[in-house]
Amino acid sequence: MTFKNLVTAALITSVALTAVHADELKGRGASFPGPVYKAWTAAYFKATGKKVNYTPTGSGDGIKSIKKRMVDFAGSDKPLKPEKLRKAKLYMFPSVVGSIVLAYNLDGVKDGDLKLSRTAIDAIFSGKAVFWDDAIITKENVGLTLPHAPITTCVRADKSGTTFNFTYFLNKINPDVKVSKKPTWKAAKVVAGKSNSGVSANIQQIKNSIGYIEYSYKIKLGLPAAQVENKEGHFINPTVPSFQDAAKYATWTADNDFYAVIGDPAGATSYPIVAATFLLLPIEKSEMNKKVTAFMEWAYINGDKAAAELGYVPLPASTKEAIRAYWEAKKIK
Amino acid sequence: MGSKLFRNFSFFSATLSFFLLVGVFAILFSYAQEALHEFGFNFLWTEQWEPDEDDEGGIFGGYIPILGTLLSTIIAMLIATPLAMGIAIFLTEIASVNVAKPVSIAIELLAAIPSIIYGMWGLFYFAPIVQFVFGGNGVGLLTAGMVLAIMIIPFMAAITRDSMNTTPAVLKESAYAMGATKFEVIKDVVMPYSKGGIIGSIILALGRALGETMAVAFLIGSVMHTIGNMTDPTTSIPVLLANNFAEAEDLEMSSMYFLALILFVVSFAIISTAKFYFLGRNPSMKKVK
Amino acid sequence: MNRLLLNKIILMLSTLSAVIGISFLFWILATLSYKGITSIHWSTFTNDLVEGGIRNLLVGQFTMALMATAVAVPVGMMAGIYLREYGDGSKLAAIIRNLSDVMMSAPSIVIGVFVYALLVDPFGGYNGWAGSVALAIMMIPIIISTTDNMLALVPTELREAGMALGGSKHKIILQIVVRAAKVGITTGVLLSFARIIGETAPLLFTSANNQFFTMDLSGQFPSLTVSIYNLATYPDPESRELAWAASFILTASVLCINLIGRFSIRNKK
């Protein structure tokens, strides 16, 4: 009977398949560094033949996955405080610095044309500003014709480290804003997308929209982005030098597992919305961790160029040294 | 292999359905415990869905996804039912055999298209049209409901057609002999005769629409907001699960199981009701696609 | 006059409904074919997702569907045989038939969440076994129903002839009754296979997805449908293109299997 043959064939195959074991590092988490991790893992595979399978599903998913030991490492733009790290038995260290830009979809308003003051950004995302031609926005954009159209804010549908860092910035402007991976947005028209890609797609498709995305997504899709007013009152165009200037003010120390939120720094030329992204590792898996650190070591040495090309800011050499010392101390080098 | 062994094995296989059903209910119920204890029935009309910052607790309520599920299904049923009935009438009473056969196959092919394809097509081709005609952003409750309708029409049409075909020709012929128009034969002979099957098909399609995930996930907007307008984005239970289950922890995950439990129980109730309507009529009507 | 007018209107509306239904089919297939064919290159089939192709996704999806079939067919057929050959008419059989139909129409996302609790959470990771099991759970009720109905069509005379020849019950069932219903059951298997190949929701949190080629079912396993869901939300043109290519190939496979199934039944009788 052909059914019997099919069943026996399938059973033999399934037994045979159990013997196959993929030798790959599994990572999940932040989409903020998605493009640079993609470049690094592809180059690492080409150079060493070792597979690193990173799925950008959002920092929230990354943190949960590593807590439950469902992956070998997690990516998160929201660093975990030392008590939380201890409770979840995790190691943490940064991988790269990136920036969050405010990309928009407005007819006739080109890249860098729109200037957003700190109060205007808060007004847009908290619903105080409803139309594009509200005074709080037009005040800084006298030469621009903004439409009398309702603003659609493009936000994240998932728990996001990008959102965490963006709300951190908003909170510095307006203390009522809750710093969160997934706040309840109070703007009138909200559209949510999964991961940085989803938000970018929404901005691209929805007229009169504005959203917060990582810089490399803006570049890849050619979306226009706004100048943002920094802490010292200057309007800064989101460019790589401005991110580098901002990153100079960041300090990381191994004492608290490199916990640092580097947004809204000082500096006349600093772009204000910058963030570091982190890797989380389970304490008890020392052999697996060595493989992860081997990958990161390769990235620290060989990946700076790719990162810079995508618009990220590589970590300074001193921080990389501190990270290496951290690995040695934890015996995961 | 003895006859006894064979019989026992077949009996065991048959009871698997029972164990599966009980198993699903048990797992959903047990994983929903935390949320059930924390929120109780208030869960059903709480609008917030806010995880705590360390993801260990929070306030969760099912009102918005439950409402989104119900509304998208109702919109779909309102659109699909007349169209499906029309197609069934066409296939059984109007079309000649040469036309009915290919049209039947076409309808069944529509039913075979995977729901994710409806989502893709809906997002890139149908949503802009809805946006053009009705305003809004294209993705929202209305678009989801309309594409959901397109998905359940073939299902409803096929079952209704099969029901209507069971009407004995002799009943129809005597009605025609008395001078009834085609419509009157349909209205007064076929429909009453196949009433059970027709109502059953409507209810079954409703059950299907409730649980539909992928097409709705592309089109409903996935925002935890109540709707002011029919074109506003919102969410539904399957969509919330599809998008946010993977990142949920502890109480939030338990709340999701709570929602899954609600969906499962409601589906069970609806499908059982549908079967009740099928039952009086034709025993072989119990075959559903 | 009024009656005739009403009649004409209703019949026209019904015909219009059929036209609308068919139009949607053509609209969907036309856009899918156009977008799909223009997005397919050689590399689509030779590369894995990590390099912009869908080779590993096709293999992965079919593998899990085959695993599911290997489980669902024996279990489903045996259950269907019990319902029709041993238990027919009994209250138990009626209950089981009802339960099976409920499972058949159960929301697929609930099945996914159920299998997550059973096979993912306790085992510490998404895996291809869980995906296969989820698909099997969806397939079993369909096979049960098909077997049950196809066996019902086999005339009792065949069974009586078998008994007259002195065969044991299980031999009669297997070698006479099932054989007689073979075509119908095979068609049912084919159609349910086509159905589960297109499923996404049960795989979202069981097997998840994998961008590399792998046959290791104990880890995240490549899925065509889950990939389409992810790729479609990416804004860059290459991802969109790949999503369309994958959608086209998926639909073409599903419809082909469907048509093969239906034609084999028509040819037989």
Do the beta carbons of residue B39 and residue B48 sit within 8 Å?
A: no
Please count the CA atoms within 13 angstroms of the CA of B56 that sit on its side-chain side: 5
Q: Position A2: which residue type?
A: T
Mean pLDDT, residues A189-213 taken together: 91
- Asked if the Cβ–Cβ distance from A7 to C73 is below 8 Å, we say yes
How distant is the Cα of C63 from the closest Cα of chain A, in angstroms? 10
> CA A260 to CA A278: how far, in whole Å?
10
Does position B136 have pLDDT exceeding 70, yes or no?
yes
DSSP secondary structure string, C105-137?
TS-HHHHHHHHIIIIITTTTS--HHHHHHHHHH
Q: Is C215 close to A17, i.e. CB distance below 8 A?
A: yes
Confidence at residue B284, expressed as pLDDT on a 0 to 100 scale: 45
DSSP 8-state secondary structure symbol assigned to residue A131: B
Give residue C268's pLDDT. Answer: 55
Q: Express each pLDDT in A70-112 by its tens digit.
A: 999 999 999 999 999 999 999 999 999 999 999 999 999 999 9
* Residue B169, both tokens: 């020709």
Give yes or no for residue B23 having a pLDDT over 60: yes
Name every chain C residue with its beta carbon within 8 A of the beta carbon of A31. none
Q: Is the pLDDT of residue C39 over 60?
A: yes
Percent of residues, chain C, with pLDDT higher than 70: 98
Residue B88, pLDDT above cutoff 50: yes
DSSP C50: G
Stretch A273-281: mean pLDDT: 95
* Minimum Cα–Cα distance from B15: chain C residue: C96
What pLDDT is recorded for position C13? 93
What lies within 8 Å, CB to CB, of C74 at 6+ separation is A3, A7, B13
Cross-chain Cβ contact C113/B28 below 8 Å: yes
User: Looking at residue B1, what is its pLDDT?
Assistant: 54
| pLDDT of C230 over the 50 cut | yes
Q: State pTM to two decimals.
A: 0.90
DSSP for residue B246: T
Q: What is the DSSP letter of A151?
A: P
What is the spatial distance between Cα A256 and Cα A326, in angstroms, rounded to a whole number? 11
Tell me what pLDDT residue A73 has: 96
pLDDT at A221 over 80: yes
Q: Please tell me the distance from the alpha carbon of residue C144 to that of residue C148, in angstroms, as a whole number.
A: 6
Q: How many other β-carbons are positioned within 10 Å of the β-carbon of residue B33?
A: 12
Q: Is the pLDDT of residue A1 over 50?
A: no
Q: Would you state the pLDDT for residue B282? A: 45
Q: A21 contacts in C (CB within 8 Å)?
A: 216, 218
Contact state of B223 with A157 under an 8 Å Cβ cutoff: yes
C210 contact residues in A (CB cutoff 8 A): 53
Interchain pair C219, A201: CB under 8 A: no
Q: What is the mean pLDDT of chain C?
A: 89
Interface list for chain B against chain A, based on CB atoms closer than 8 Å: 48, 50-51, 53-55, 137-139, 221-225, 233, 243-244, 246-249
pLDDT of residue A4: 59
Whether the CB-CB separation of A274 and A243 falls below 8 Å is answered with yes
Tell me whether residues A17 and C211 touch, CB distance under 8 A.
no
Residues A152 and B131 sit within 8 Å (Cβ to Cβ) = no
Q: Which two tokens stand for residue B217?
A: 């996930």
| Cα–Cα distance, A40 to A42 (Å, whole number) | 5
Between CA B208 and CA B214, with CA B209 as vertex, the angle to 5 degrees is: 100
Q: Which two tokens stand for residue C207?
A: 């097997």
10 Å Cβ neighbour count for B18?
15
Give the model's confidence band at B3: pLDDT under 50 very low, under 70 low, under 90 confident, else very high. Answer: confident
Where do the H-state alpha helices sit in A174-239? 195-205, 215-221
Q: Quickly list H helices, A133-194.
A: 135-138, 161-173
Predicted confidence band of residue C136 (pLDDT cuts 50, 70, 90): very high
Specify the range with the lowest mean pLDDT, choosing from A298-307, B80-89, C182-191, C247-256.
C182-191
Question: Quick check: C263 contacting A, CB < 8 Å?
Answer: no
- CB-based burial of residue C89 (10 Å sphere; 0-12 exposed, 13-18 middle, 19+ buried)? exposed
What would you measure as the largest C-alpha separation in chain C, in angstroms? 73
Closest residue in B to C241 (Cα) is B120
Q: Which two tokens stand for residue A157?
A: 């549908």
Asked if C235 contacts C23 with a C-beta cutoff of 8 angstroms, the reply is no
Residue C117: list chain A partners with CB under 8 A.
none
By DSSP bridging, strand A90-105 and strand A209-214 are: antiparallel
Contacts of C241 (CB under 8 A, 6+ apart): C39
Task: Answer for the pair A200, A217: CB distance below 8 angstroms, yes or no.
Answer: yes
Confidence of residue B283 (pLDDT cuts 50, 70, 90): very low
On whether any CB of chain B is under 8 Å from the CB of A77, the answer is: no
User: Half-sphere exposure of C13 toward its Cβ, with a 13 Å CA cutoff?
Assistant: 12
What distance in Å separates residue A255's CA from the closest CA in chain B?
Answer: 22
In degrees rounded to 5, what are phi and psi of residue A97? -110, 140
DSSP string, A247-282: HTT----GGGTT-----S---TT--S-EEEEEEEEE
Q: Which of A182-191, A193-202, A208-217, B200-209 has the highest mean pLDDT?
A: A208-217
pLDDT digits (tens, 9 = 90+) for C165-211: 887 877 777 888 888 888 888 888 999 999 999 999 999 999 988 88
Query: Mean pLDDT throughout A132-140?
Result: 93
| 3-state DSSP assignment of residue A112 | coil
Furthest-apart CA atoms within chain B: distance in Å? 76
CB A226 within 8 A of CB A212: no
pLDDT single digits (tens) C62-78: 999 999 999 999 999 99
Of B11, B89, B256, the CB nearest to C82: B11
Candidate from A158, A180, A205 with C-beta closest to B244: A158
Nearest to A132 by CA among A17, A219, A209: A209
| Range name among A6-20, A142-156, B95-109, B119-133 with the lowest pLDDT average | A6-20
The vertex-A109 CA angle with A103 and A114, nearest 5°, equals: 60
Strands (E), chain A: 24-29, 51-56, 73-76, 90-105, 115-116, 152-156, 189-193, 209-214, 227-229, 235-236, 274-282
pLDDT band at B288 (very low <50, low <70, confident <90, very high): very low
How many residue pairs from chains A and C have C-beta atoms closer than 8 A? 78
Q: In this structure, what token pair is assigned to residue A140?
A: 């800084």
Q: Between B51, B137, B224, which is nearest A206 by CB?
A: B137
State what percent of residues in chain B have pLDDT above 90: 50
CB A134 within 8 A of CB A246: no
- Which of A59, A154, A205, A261 is best to mutate for the B interface (most B CBs within 10 A)? A205
Average pLDDT, whole number, for chain B?
A: 89
**What is the ipTM, given to two decimal places?**
0.90
Q: What is the pLDDT of residue B166?
A: 87
